Amino acid sequence: MRIRDSSMLAGHRIKPSIEDLDGPKSVEHINGWVKQATRGAIPVILDAPPGGGFVSLGALSFKARWKTSFDRESPASPFQRPDGSTISVPMMHLAGDGQKFRFDEKFTAVDLAYAGESYSMVVVAARSGKGVGGSDLKALASWLQGEKFEAAKGEIFLPRFSLNDGRDLMPILNAMGVAPEKAKDAGFPGFTKENIRLARVLQKTMIKVDENGTEAAAATAVITERSIDPKLVRVVADARFAFALRDTKTGLLLAAGLIGDPLLAGE
């Protein structure tokens, strides 16, 4: 493919490279770039030559410590899966007045700050034992964007969790109206004269959350609770919960999802 306007790409901090997209070397080059850009967190995004007209790559790497770390010891506590079964997970705990909260009759949420406060993670838990459902996400959009949170004294119970996910986003984009037949030359002005269209939009995500911060075994225990201060906001993520890793300056969401089983990466 001949790139029509390389200066236009440079103006958007895009570095073009001419590759044989039908050859095995393209897989090696693309995977190598992604591995380097994500500091090894995502070593592979393609397992076969992509072919086609061009491949556009984007990646981010995030690693930060909490502004206030959770307790070092995380005792096992029960967590209810979406199917109603219960597992035992390491439940992190944090108490104090250095966080911002939002709550109503159905949900409680905390906006956990990272050191430097340029980023934060919103965690939304349901007050009922059923947890947060997919149908709740539309109503929780402003919550996940960090809106209307206020400083308060609170207590947070959050399981450690990790997420590794990979999928083709093209079916989702089609459902949003970005159909392949609509994404032809007009969708890429100044890039090429060839008649091209979107074929696949592959995305892989990795996030790990523990007591120290975020890098984007069964046991049984009896837990006792102390009396609850009526002014204390409690966020207890002991069933499916929502999270969003966000840039506090731009509002950009770096990662978001629902965690239904903290022990199963990719759920």
Angle CA 72–208–70, to nearest 5: 20
pTM of the model: 0.76
Domain 6-61+163-206 is found in CATH 3.30.497.10: yes
pLDDT of residue 265: 54
Between CA 82 and CA 105 the distance in angstroms is 21
Q: Check if the beta carbon of residue 89 is closer than 8 Å to that of residue 263.
A: yes
What residues have CB less than 8 Å from 19, skipping those under 6 apart? 25, 26, 29, 55
In this structure, which topology does domain 64-160+210-259 adopt according to CATH? Alpha-1-antitrypsin; domain 1 (2.30.39)
Look-up of token digits 């956990």: 112
In 3D, which of 111, 186, 183, 177 has the Cα closest to residue 143? 111
CA 20/CA 26 separation, integer angstroms? 6
Query: CA–CA separation, 49 vs 38, rounded Å?
Result: 21
pLDDT the model gives residue 187 = 52
pLDDT in tens, 50-103: 776 677 777 778 888 999 989 988 889 999 999 999 999 999 999 877 789 999
Nearest to 137 by CA among 41, 39, 258: 258
Q: Let me know the angle formed at the C-alpha of 259 by 160 and 149, rounded to the nearest 5 degrees.
A: 85
| Mean residue pLDDT across the chain | 79
Q: What pLDDT, on a 0 to 100 scale, did the predictor assign at position 190?
A: 56
Alpha carbon distance 198, 98 (integer Å): 46
pLDDT, tens digit, for every residue of 148-204?
999 999 999 999 988 777 777 777 767 766 555 544 544 555 555 666 666 777 778
Question: Can you give the residue ranges of every domain in the chain?
Answer: 6-61+163-206, 64-160+210-259
Using pLDDT thresholds of 50, 70 and 90, give the confidence band for residue 237. very high
